[in-house]
Amino acid sequence: MTANELKHNDGIATFGAGCFWGVEQRFRELPGVTEATSGYMGGAIQEPTYRGVCSGNTGHAEVVQVRFDPDKLAYETLLTLFFDMHNPTTINRQGPDIGSQYRSVVFFHDDDQHRAAREAIIELERSGRWSQPVVTQVVAADTFWRAEEYHQRYLEKNGLGMCAI
């Protein structure tokens, strides 16, 4: 399905903001989010693995796919959290993590999300919050590949309160 064929989604959003562990946790804490799952999107191979994605050779980004109740939570609120939790001005880098798999990216699932993401970037640029331009990509969602089970709720499973995102 292409972005032009998308009309409306039923509460799904996908974001890449660096390492997915902390991103997943932050989205999971937001009221109205029913699920947040770590995974991969935007690459060239089928069934990517963490090792392959980390090599930088698959083209995938580490992402979090968020399921939410649109009656309780606006997509724009998810965008606000997304832009608040990482630096959208660094190309292929978040903190100590370097590589295209850590790029800042919004994978949109319908035309409304596409428009909202573009508008959020314009507003962020106008705000003057960052001295550098926002480099966040806005790309039509494609296949979401769930990350290996040990990545799901990683911080919670390992007794870690947070990670640098």
pLDDT in tens, 87-113: 999 999 988 889 999 999 999 999 999
Q: Look at residue 148 and tell me if it is in a domain.
A: yes
Q: Look at residue 163 and tell me if it is in a domain.
A: no
pLDDT above 50 for 159: yes
Rounded Cα–Cα distance for residues 146 and 69 (Å): 21
Q: Look at residue 2 and tell me if it is in a domain.
A: no
- Which pTM value belongs to this model? 0.90
What pLDDT shows up at residue 122? 97
Nearest to 2 by CA among 141, 119, 137: 141
pLDDT in tens, 136-149: 999 999 999 999 88
SS3 (DSSP) at 87? coil
What pLDDT shows up at residue 125? 95
Q: Look at residue 25 and tell me if it is in a domain.
A: yes
What pLDDT shows up at residue 158? 72
Q: Look at residue 162 and tell me if it is in a domain.
A: no
Structure tokens at 101: 């798999």
Q: Which of 13, 17, 19, 106 is catalytic?
A: 19
* DSSP line for 52-78: HHHHT-S--EEEEEEEE-TTTS-HHHH
As for how many domains the chain has, the answer is 1
pLDDT in tens, 6-48: 344 679 999 999 988 889 999 999 999 999 999 999 999 999 9
Q: Look at residue 69 and tell me if it is in a domain.
A: yes
Q: Which residue has the tokens 């999971």?
A: 28
What pLDDT shows up at residue 148? 82
Q: Look at residue 111 and tell me if it is in a domain.
A: yes
What pLDDT shows up at residue 5? 40
pLDDT in tens, 54-73: 998 999 999 999 999 999 99
Could you give the C-alpha distances from 123 to 6, 11, 117, 130, 133, in angstroms and in order?
24, 23, 10, 11, 12
What pLDDT shows up at residue 2? 40
Residue 54 annotated among the catalytic residues of the structure: no
CATH number reported for the structural domain that contains residue 148 in this entry: 3.30.1060.10
Rounded Cα–Cα distance for residues 104 and 87 (Å): 8
Give me the domain span that covers residue 68: 9-157
